[in-house]
Amino acid sequence: MGKNLLKLSDLSTDEIIAILDRAQMFCAGVDVPVLSDKIACNMFFESSTRTQYSFNVAELRLGMRVVSFNPGSSSMNKNESFYDTVKCFDSFGPDAIVIRHVQNEYYNELLGHINAALLNGGDGTGNHPTQSLLDLLTIKQEFGRFEGLKCVIAGDISHSRVAHTNYEVMRRLGMEVVTAGPEEFLEKSLEQEDFDHAVKTSDIVMMLRVQHERHAEHMKLTKEEYHQAYGLTVEREKTMKDKAIIMHPAPVNRDVELADCLMECPRARIFKQMQNGVFVRMAALERAVK
Ligand code: NCD
């Protein structure tokens, strides 16, 4: 049976580095396998642009055959459960199933009940392993190392599976990681720092989207107030270190967490991250099915 990829905390640092090295080979166009005998099913129960379609492109680049599930036109409209829906797809005999779902740790009820390798495309506010891998690849390409780098993750930390996944893995790789943002979005267990100070001293400024869809109540601040207090404004960007970069998992709320004109500025690696998403997902898929 192939290898699941559910959360990065299940993987040793050696395994993580091996996936990144393989992804870098795919980035260079080297040693791409042809997995035309393998079938992947993409099952996105929660909205997605980057993760869903870069998994799709990664599968195509590996020569895999792909089935994409559309919850809106499925028998979930006849009250079929998540479990029965995934079990149904697994019965078709795919080699890998990629799932995104709004429920944290949705995969627990599937483990031991499906034969395909399971790749997590994001579970609620929990984990987003392939996003962190593409973030790490982008950092590695930029700085050639992890040890000793400082990253501030800023914004809606508590609702962000990207923040949770990155905080753990970046620290394990020897990075200094701090969080910043409105009090209502921070978590006591994660180290916090004054945002302005963090922007000035970090090598990576990672901005997060305000996840309105996961909020029980409306955010207290207006978009403009948020931008001035917690966003990467044009003025704050000027205080960043010479070689420091801007990252964001996207989608971006322009002029809320990030000034519109910074999205494609020389420091921004946001579209680079998307490009790297294809390569890390190729590496994760190869690892899962071989
Ligand atoms: C993130 C996600 O869905 O967790 N996006 C992504 O996968 N690139 C972040 C977000 O939605 O804000």
**Residue 213 pLDDT class (50, 70, 90 cuts):** confident
Tokens of 30: 């080297």
Per-residue model confidence as pLDDT tens digits over 154-203: 999 999 999 999 999 999 999 999 999 999 999 999 999 999 999 999 99
CA–CA gap between residue 176 and residue 191 (Å, rounded): 10
Instruction: Give residues (CB < 6 A) around ligand 1.
Output: 50-51, 122, 128, 131, 161-162, 209, 211, 249-250
CA distances from 274 to 62, 68, 149, 263 (A): 18, 20, 22, 13
| Gap between the Cα atoms of 105 and 213, Å rounded | 19
Ligand 1 center–CA 229 separation, angstroms: 22
pLDDT per residue over 270-285, tens digit each?
Answer: 999 999 999 999 999 9
Strand (E) positions, 126-207? 150-154, 176-180, 204-207
pTM, 2 dp: 0.97
Nearest Cα residue to atom 6 of ligand 1: 249
Ligand 1: which residue has its CA nearest to atom 7? 51
Query: Would the pLDDT of 2 be above 80?
Result: no
CB atoms under 10 Å from CB of 93, counted, come to: 10
